[in-house]
Chain A
Amino acid sequence: MAVGAGKTYKVPIGPVHVGLKEPITAWLDVDGERIVDATIRPGAIHRGIEFMARERNPIQVIYLAERICGICSFTHIECFVRAVEDAAGISVPKRAQYIRTIVLELERIHSHVLWAGVACYTFGYDSAFNLGMILREKVMDVLEVLTGNRVNYGTGTIGGVRRDITPKVEKVLRDMITFYKNEFDLFYNVATDDPITMARMRNVGVLSPEDAVKYCALGPTVRGSGHRVDLRWSQPYEAYGELDVQPVVPQDLTGEVYGDVYDRFLVRVLEVYQSLEIIEKCLDDLPEGDLMWEPNLPKLLNYLKRADGTGVSSIEGPRGDDTHVVKLTGGEENVTWWKVRAPTYANGVSWPIMFRNNDLADAPLIINSVDPCISCMERMLVTEKKTGSKQVVTRAELLNRCREKTRKVMGA
């Protein structure tokens, strides 16, 4: 416990750790209980999904994209589908846009409730964790009623959605809104009134507003640092343009920005209420009309086969902006290439900053505070087969390799 002795020890958190949901390693340089510095080593759960996509047509890729992540499965397919629609010039019917918005917000509620529970679990507050799990059950039931599935909904498709909101489903959704408006308060109070929660989250894992911009944090992480950044507000898509979504920032409630874990907790909790309002509004304004641009699947596939171009899409997922880029080549049935940039990739960069000068006990909480989705993030892994070593490619090296590649493609 000799703090300030100058000698540091290396403590690994992960790759497999009770406090983490997915494998990632944080090598902490620890002086006593104090973290002096940290190195993040991802690369334990890379699956090569983008490569697999190159042997599939866009409709098949939807189901692949859904399996990038367990929680933001609809966020990924929504983003992919929008990129394909962008590339192929497909317009989505109004009703489908509203239904997509509703599912996106349901997923945000699911993700945030789960996260809040897990955050409490990370510092040993098991009762709040169990309460969170009970609350989460409701939104999963609603998603099951709407889509037939609880995790991978399989409900989005290119040019629309595959499930309609019938009056029966609408009733279930409205019941859920009332349920959460009553019950979520309880969780919020339990978590925020507890003195230990305050002691464990306040001034822990601070990401200053300057650092948040410098290291390109996204979603609730950057909003927790006080910046009004939200794609639903700044660059509305689907039905958000008509809904007037305002970014949630901690200073609106507390008047102050700490940029700590507590602020991120607060942002997520308030976003649950915001999502409930968005769903309510969507249900009120739900327009009549078609669900799909082209319900005939072979016809749609045929159209996509002829489509040529690159499509980009960026949407606000529960953890930050998710970006997909898709290239379709005319005459090719399969996706030419596809690039996914999940929010954790950007948020993970600020981990070492958050770790500095915190306690070892805070480490798992800090990792969880950005709501990391490691399997979303891991898009690349460089391995040297001969030596079996894993290395990190530096920025300069990556830039050089990109230039080489471009020259090769250009035939120079």
Chain B
Amino acid sequence: MQGKNEEGDGSMMILFKILAGLALLIFASLLSLLFEGIDRIFHARMQSRLGPPLFQPFYDILKLLGKENIVPRRAIPWAFNGAPWVAAATALMVVLYVPMGSLQPILGGHGDLILIIYLLGLSAVAMAVGGFSSGSIYANVGAQREMVLMMSYELPLAAVVTSLAWFAYRSGMPGAPFSLETYVSMPVWSVAGWTGIFGILGLLVALLAVVPAETGKVPMDIAEAKTEILEGLICEYSGRNLAMFKVAFSLRTLAMCAVVVSLFFPWSLGRLLGLNGVLFFVADFLFFWVKVLVVQVLGVTIIRTTFGRFKIWQASRLYWYQVGGLAAAGMVLLTLDVIL
């Protein structure tokens, strides 16, 4: 009797997870486009322009869905058509592994930070594959740049994640060191001493420096540089495929900012206000997305308004030396914090 009940609970749980996951995926896609609209308005206002309507990204996507999907004669059709789906799907999957406020991730326990980094990486690789299979010289150059850029920013990214995990493990934070929930349930700042806080600060800046490259925004929009190589790897894309790429770009921005928030700014509003029950979860959920928006505005919008575009070798050098160095410094400081 009891066994049967558990079985029923199990299947109910799976059904619930599928439904909740689907709802979350749709919610995240819409939210990422909304955030892009906010980003564009902020960007425009900072340049003393009026900017597009808030829902412009939605109109763009809807328009693109209705347009003809052109596959160039020299393209490899299966790779060309498949790449946007893989890019969007992998970026979308990240959302399932990120805890939102006090809500556990839908697939929590089935994947951790390493998986998230791989998913974001896979999304970038899919874009590069799309570029390589376009049969256009500009797309090819763009895809090469994307690959080089990826190799450059993966180093500081990996350094940040592994240092944090090692610190979490050694300082005895409860939970698995690579799991995002560990960092959400207990802010990493609270267990560190003074040296450790400076170390974490270094890691935070290093991670924020990676955000523009991960999301393909100025000054790291080198693979999509429109005044240089005509939008680079999405040069040949149109219609539905381009819409998928646009969604993938917005989702990557959202996912990356969500990871930054989960790792470094996990504070809960509900706990602060002493709420409980449903209200607690709702407040935390909303607060989480507000934090993501703030990180996106600070880490993406303001950066892309203030700077021009790097050249690929300059970006590579920046990530390997300056940002890599910063991450390494953070790592050393965290080590000192644990040892001393």
- Residue numbers of A with Cβ under 8 A of B are 1, 9, 11-12, 17-19, 33, 120-128, 130-131, 134, 194, 196-197, 199-200, 359-364
A66 to B307, CA, bound (A): 37
Kindly supply a per-residue 1/0 record for chain B positions 224-247, scoring 1 wherever the CB is within 8 Å of any chain A CB and 0 otherwise: 011111100000000000000000
- Which A residues touch B311, using CB under 8 A? 199-200, 359, 361-362
Instruction: Pick from A1, A128, A131, A134 the residue with the most CB of B within 10 Å.
Output: A1
Interface check B219, CB cutoff 8 A: yes
Selected contact of B308 from candidates A130, A131, A196, CB within 8 Å: A196
Bound CA span A364–B311, Å: 13
Contact in complex: A123, B227 (CB < 8 Å): yes
Judged by DSSP, the binding face of A is helix
Q: Which residues of B contact A200 (CB under 8 A)?
A: 308-311
Contact in complex: A127, B225 (CB < 8 Å): no
With CB as the reference atom, state the residue of chain B lying closest to A191: B308
CA distance A126 to B228 in the complex (A): 14
Q: Do A126 and B47 touch (CB < 8 A)?
A: yes
The interface residues of chain B lying within 8 Å CB-to-CB of A131 are 47-48
A188 nearest CB across to chain B (Å):
15
Complex Cα distance, B220 from A361, in Å, reads 13
The reply to whether A127 and B305 contact each other, CB–CB distance below 8 Å, is: yes
Q: Specify the chain A residue showing the minimal Cβ separation from B316.
A: A1
Chain A residue with the shortest CB-CB distance to B306: A127
A196/B309 contact (C-beta < 8 A), A121-B227, A126-B218 known: yes
Residue of B at shortest CB range from A124?
B309
Q: How many residues of B are in contact with the other chain, CB < 8 A? A: 29
Q: Mark B99-128, 1 if CB is under 8 A from A, else 0.
A: 000000000000000000000000000000
CB pair A122–B227 under 8 Å, yes or no, is: yes
The reply to whether B219 and A196 contact each other, CB–CB distance below 8 Å, is yes
Q: Is A361 in contact with B228, judged by CB distance below 8 angstroms?
A: yes
Report the bound CA distance from A308 to B225 in whole Å: 55
Q: A200-B311, A360-B228, A364-B228 are in contact. List 9 more A-B contacts (CB 8 A).
A: A19-B227, A122-B227, A123-B308, A127-B305, A196-B307, A196-B310, A200-B308, A200-B310, A361-B312
Contact A363:B48 (CB < 8 A) given known A124-B219, A124-B309, A194-B307 = no
Chain B residues 194 to 233 lying within 8 A of chain A, measured CB to CB, are 218-219, 221-222, 225-230
Contact yes or no, B48 A125, CB < 8 A: no
Neighbouring A residues of B307 by C-beta, 8 Å = 125, 194, 196
19 contacts between A and B (CB under 8 A): A1-B144, A11-B138, A11-B141, A18-B227, A33-B141, A33-B313, A123-B228, A124-B225, A124-B308, A130-B47, A130-B48, A131-B47, A131-B48, A196-B219, A199-B314, A200-B309, A200-B310, A361-B222, A364-B228
Q: In the docked arrangement, what's the CA distance between A124 and B306, Å?
A: 11
B46 in the interface (beta carbon within 8 A): yes
Per the 8 Å Cβ criterion, residues 37-95 of B in contact with A are 46-49
B137–A9 touching, CB < 8 Å: yes
Complex CA gap A361/B148 in Å reads 14
Residue on A nearest B138 in the bound complex, by CB: A11
Interface pair B225/A197, CB less than 8 Å apart: no
**Which residues on A sit within 8 Å (CB–CB) of B305?**
126-127
A124 and B218 in contact (CB under 8 A), knowing A194-B308, A359-B311, A359-B313? yes
- How distant is B232 from chain A, measured CB to nearest CB, in Å? 10
Q: In chain A, what residue has the closest Cβ to B227?
A: A19
How far is it, in angstroms, between the C-alpha of A381 and the C-alpha of B218 when the chains are bound?
Answer: 40
Out of B48, B148, B308, B312, which one reaches A128, CB within 8 Å?
B308
Question: Within 8 Å CB of A362, what residues of B?
Answer: 311
Q: How far is the CA of A148 from the CA of B324 in the complex (A)?
A: 58
Residues of B within 8 A of A127 (CB): 46-47, 305-306
In the complex, the 5 A-B pairs of residues with the closest C-beta atoms, listed nearest first: A124-B309, A125-B308, A19-B227, A130-B47, A196-B308
